[in-house]
A and B are shown apart, each in its own frame.
Chain A
C-alpha cells in the first residue's frame, strides 16, 4: 500500500498542510520541534485511531485554532491511499465541543467520504512505527506491551479488534457488578451471565493472541538469528496469558521457571487449535476457581486484560539480563518481523514510520534496517541530521525540509553536502 496524499488541518503545529508523497523512501528532515514527528503521528493516528503514546487525544488539535474559537474546532487528517484493489480516501475529523461549559472531544471517521464507525478505519491504512522509546517496552509494565500488541493485531484482524472492544465492555460491566455485590450482597445472577460473556469473548482474544504471537515469534527469531547476531543468539518471544490465580511467580527472571515453561507449552498447543472450545474450557475453569476472590476484591482478577508477553535470549529473560545493545537488537528484530508478519497476513506491506530511530542504531544495525526497508515498501523517516544516511540511500530518497509546520521539497543540495562530508571523512 502507498500513501500518496496527506492533508492536515489544525493538527498539532500544522494549521494547514497538503502534500503529495511518492512510493519508496521519504526523509523528513530539519531541526527539532518543527513538526517532523507530527506528520508521522498523523499517519499513525489515521491507521490505528490511537496516539503513539497513550496520551490524551485533545492535545492533538492545533493550539492556535483552539484559542481562536472555543466553541468548536475541527481538526482534520485526510489521506489518499493506493491499495491493490484501488485508491481509498480516508478521513478523520477531530471535533472539540463545548457542552454546558465543559470541553468534549469527539472523533468522526470517513471512508471514501462515507461516515463509518471509528473502528472501520482500521485495516485501510496499515503502519509499523519505529520509535527510539520502543526498546523501553521490553522492561516496561505489561500494560504497555498489551497495548502495543493490540494495536498491531487490530490493524490486521478486524474481528480481533471488535471482540477486544466488546470484551472490555463486558469486563467493565462485570467489575461494576462485582463492586455492587460487594456493597449490597446482590446480583450474583447478573455476574454469572457476564462471566459467560467474559469467557466467550476472552477465549477469542486469548487464542488470537496465542496464534499471532507464535507467528510473530517465529519471524522475529529468524531475523534476529540470521541477520542481527550471526547465529550467536536465539530470541524467544513468549505469550503469557493470565490464566492462573496468582500470576506467574516472578522468579528473578533468569531461566524460564517450570511453571512458565508449562504455560508456554500449553499456549503453543492452543495456538494450533482450530476452534475456541479448548481455550473457553480452560478460561472458564480458571474464572470459576477465582470467583470467590473476584467477589471479595470487586474486580476480575484473571483474563486477557492481565496478559503479558516477554522476550528471552538464549534462555534468559531479556528485561533482566540483556544488555542495552541486546535489547536494541531484539526490538529491531521484532519490528522487522512486524513488517513481514503484516505482509504474510494481509498480502501487502505496511507503511513504515521511523521517528528518529536511525540515530539510535550503530552502523551495522543501521545498514540492516535501511536495506530492509529499502527493498520493500514505502517508508517515512525523520531526522535532524541527514549526514547519518549513506549517500546511496539519499540519492534514492525524496527529501522534505520541515520548518515551522511547512514542508519544502529539497533537491540535490543536501545530497551534495553529504557527499562532500563523506569525501572529507575518507581523507
Chain B
C-alpha cells in the first residue's frame, strides 16, 4: 500500500501512463509541481490540459487539428485553392508548413493503409478527399505520404482512386537528405535518388 496521499499517487499514476515516462520520472514531475517555485504552475498546467480536449477539434474540410472550424488554412483566401497536398498526420502538415515552400490547401488522412494494423481505406479520410476534389477546382494533388511501405501503398491507392479526375498527381521526390554524405547513404535511397536525378 502506498504511504503517499491519494491525490499525489493518482497524479504519479497518470504521468506514468504517458509515453517515455516511467514511475521514477512520474514521481519527480509530481513532486516538482507540488513544491515548485511557481505556485501557479500546477493550475496553469491543469487548465492547459483541459483546454487541449475542450477547445480542439478536427477541421471539417481538411481534417487538421484546429480550434476554429474551418481551420485557418482552409479559410485563408490567399492560399492557392487549385493545389492540394495530402498528408498522413497533422504533424506532417506542420513540417511542410515549416518549409514555407507550399502555399496550397491540405488534406489530412489520419493514418496510412496498413492491413496488419487493421487500417483500410475506409478508416482514413479518403471519401472526404474525393468529395473535395470533385467539388473543388484543383489542378494538382501532391501526395505527401511517408516513404514507408504503408505510405507508398496509400499513395498508390490514392493514385488509382483519383485517376478519373484528370488532374495532375505528384509525389514528393525520394532521395538524398540535404547535408548528408553520399558515402553513408544506403543503396535503396541512392538508387531512388539516381532514378529521380535532375538536369543541371
Instruction: Kindly state whether residue B160 has any CB partner on chain A within 8 Å.
Output: yes
Instruction: Kindly state whether residue B187 has any CB partner on chain A within 8 Å.
Output: yes
Q: Are B160 and A170 in contact (CB under 8 A)?
A: no
B115, B116, B150: residue with the most chain A Cβ atoms closer than 10 Å: B115
Nearest chain A CB to B186 CB, angstrom units:
7
Please measure, in the bound complex, the distance between the C-alpha atom of A303 and the C-alpha atom of B86, giving whole angstroms. 33
Mark B residues whose CB is within 8 Å of A: 113-116, 118, 120-122, 149-150, 152-153, 156-157, 160, 184, 186-188
Set A158, A162, A176, A189: member contacting B116, Cβ < 8 A: A176
Chain A residues with CB below 8 A from B187, complex form: 158-159, 162
Set A117, A172, A197: member contacting B153, Cβ < 8 A: A197
Instruction: Kindly state whether residue A68 has any CB partner on chain B within 8 Å.
Output: no
Known: A162-B188, A180-B120, A189-B121. A173 touches B157 (CB 8 A): no
Nearest chain A CB to B129 CB, angstrom units:
15
Please measure, in the bound complex, the distance between the C-alpha atom of A196 and the C-alpha atom of B155, giving whole angstroms. 14
Query: Could you tell me the dominant secondary structure of chain A's interface residues?
Result: helix
Nearest chain A CB to B7 CB, angstrom units:
23
Instruction: Kindly state whether residue A103 has any CB partner on chain B within 8 Å.
Output: no
Q: Are A186 and B157 in contact (CB under 8 A)?
A: no
Q: Are A170 and B115 in contact (CB under 8 A)?
A: no
A: interface residue count bin: 20 to 34
Mark A residues whose CB is within 8 Å of B: 114, 117, 120, 158-159, 162, 166, 169-170, 172-174, 176-177, 179-180, 186-187, 189-190, 193-194, 196-197
Q: Are B121 and A180 in contact (CB under 8 A)?
A: no
Please measure, in the bound complex, the distance between the C-alpha atom of A170 and the C-alpha atom of B121, giving whole angstroms. 17
Q: Are A187 and B115 in contact (CB under 8 A)?
A: yes
Q: Are A173 and B149 in contact (CB under 8 A)?
A: yes
Chain B residues with CB below 8 A from A190, complex form: 113, 115, 120-121, 153, 157
The residue of chain B having its C-beta at the shortest distance from the C-beta of A180 within the complex is B115
Please measure, in the bound complex, the distance between the C-alpha atom of A169 and the C-alpha atom of B115, giving whole angstroms. 11
The residue of chain A having its C-beta at the shortest distance from the C-beta of B148 within the complex is A169
Q: Are A176 and B115 in contact (CB under 8 A)?
A: yes
Please measure, in the bound complex, the distance between the C-alpha atom of A48 and the C-alpha atom of B186, giving whole angstroms. 18
Please measure, in the bound complex, the distance between the C-alpha atom of A166 and the C-alpha atom of B186, giving whole angstroms. 14
Chain A residues with CB below 8 A from B115, complex form: 173-174, 176-177, 179-180, 187, 190, 194
Chain B residues with CB below 8 A from A174, complex form: 115
Chain A residues with CB below 8 A from B150, complex form: 173
Chain A residues with CB below 8 A from B120, complex form: 180, 186-187, 190
Chain A residues with CB below 8 A from B160, complex form: 189, 193
Set B118, B157, B184, B188: member contacting A189, Cβ < 8 A: B157
Q: Are B116 and A173 in contact (CB under 8 A)?
A: yes
Q: Are A193 and B156 in contact (CB under 8 A)?
A: yes
Please measure, in the bound complex, the distance between the C-alpha atom of A117 and the C-alpha atom of B186, giving whole angstroms. 10
Chain B residues with CB below 8 A from A194, complex form: 115, 153
Please name the 4 residue pairs, one residue from A and one from B, whose CB atoms are nearest each other, closest first: A176-B115, A177-B115, A176-B116, A193-B156
11 A–B contacts, CB within 8 A, in A order: A120-B186, A169-B149, A170-B149, A174-B115, A177-B115, A180-B115, A186-B120, A189-B121, A190-B157, A194-B115, A197-B153
Q: Are A162 and B157 in contact (CB under 8 A)?
A: no
Chain A residues with CB below 8 A from B116, complex form: 172-173, 176
Q: Are A162 and B186 in contact (CB under 8 A)?
A: yes
Please measure, in the bound complex, the distance between the C-alpha atom of A158 and the C-alpha atom of B187, giving whole angstroms. 8
Nearest chain A CB to B101 CB, angstrom units:
29
Nearest chain A CB to B55 CB, angstrom units:
31
The residue of chain A having its C-beta at the shortest distance from the C-beta of B157 within the complex is A193
The residue of chain A having its C-beta at the shortest distance from the C-beta of B116 within the complex is A176
Chain A residues with CB below 8 A from B153, complex form: 173, 190, 193-194, 197
Q: Are B121 and A166 in contact (CB under 8 A)?
A: no
Nearest chain B CB to A199 CB, angstrom units:
13
B118, B120, B184: residue with the most chain A Cβ atoms closer than 10 Å: B120
Chain A residues with CB below 8 A from B114, complex form: 173
Nearest chain A CB to B164 CB, angstrom units:
14
Please measure, in the bound complex, the distance between the C-alpha atom of A301 and the C-alpha atom of B20, giving whole angstroms. 41
